[in-house]
């Protein structure tokens, strides 16, 4: 890290900002628990999983942007962060493709 970056005060949001992000993470965790206790299958099958993943994605974004200082990083760091999310999406897509095309198997109902 360059001296100019450190002296200018960039790269962190201070204690109040970190406490705010911590509060967002705690609320997200509590919200995930509440969603897990409520059956949302009346909306569509698998709605609980989708809502839980959306909450997890929001929490991951907060951690990545502020705790990992990506928000104040150069464009190359942003590119690598977005590329990693793209790669994660590819891995989920291949996993779901394999999972959804399998039969019920020996233990299926």
d(CA 109, CA 101): 16
Regarding pTM above 0.75, the answer is no
pLDDT in tens, 12-44: 788 999 999 999 999 999 999 999 999 988 888
Give the domain ranges of the chain: 3-71, 74-102
pLDDT in tens, 81-93: 999 989 989 998 9
> Count of CB atoms within 10 A of residue 20's CB?
14
**Residue 5 is encoded by which pair of tokens?**
């970056």
């Amino acid at each position: 890290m360059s001296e100019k970056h450190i002296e200018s005060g960039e790269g962190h949001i201070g204690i109040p900002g970190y406490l705010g992000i911590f509060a967002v993470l705690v609320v997200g965790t509590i919200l995930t628990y509440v969603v897990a206790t409520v059956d949302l299958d009346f909306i569509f099958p698998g709605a609980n999983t989708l809502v839980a993943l959306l909450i997890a994605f929001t929490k991951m974004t907060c951690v990545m942007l502020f705790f990992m200082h990506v928000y104040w990083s150069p464009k190359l760091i942003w590119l690598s962060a977005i590329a990693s999310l793209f790669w994660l999406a590819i891995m989920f897509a291949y996993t779901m493709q394999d999972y959804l095309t399998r039969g019920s198997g020996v233990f299926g109902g």
